[in-house]
Amino acid sequence: MNKAELAAALAEKLQLPKTQTERMIEETTEIITQTLKSGGEVNIAGFGAFLARTRKGRTGVNPRNPTEKIQIADVTVPKFKAGKNLKDALKEKPTA
């Protein structure tokens, strides 16, 4: 499911115009992004948590010259930790 399909499903479920649900999704992702950039976390009870973690730098190999070592800098990466309700829902067998 992509963003447009999510907006359409949300619009149908909430009986709202699709343009309004598209804006809701855009604003939600913007808020999550800004919160992570500022070092915070976003917890959605039962669903999961969005976090930003710093991955330590390391020594790597230059792909253009495998004999040359390069230093890879620290980088901040997004993480998602699934909540219990989401994990439990995925464990359930689908009904046919």
Confirm whether pTM is higher than 0.85: no
**Residues whose CB is less than 8 angstroms from the CB of residue 1 and which lie 6 or more positions away in sequence, other chains included:** 9
Instruction: Write the DSSP string, 21-75.
Output: HHHHHHHHHHHHHHHHHTT--EEETTTEEEEEEEEPPEEEEETTEEEEEEEEPPE
Which CATH class for the 41-96 domain? few secondary structures
Rg (CA), the chain: 19
- Asked if 51 and 41 touch (Cβ cutoff 8 Å), the reply is yes
Would you list the domain boundaries of the chain?
Answer: 1-40, 41-96
26-49 pLDDT, tens digit per residue, is: 999 999 999 999 999 999 999 999
Query: Residue 91 pLDDT more than 70?
Result: yes
- pLDDT band per the 50, 70, 90 thresholds, residue 68: very high
Parallel/antiparallel/unpaired status of strands 65-72 and 48-55 = unpaired
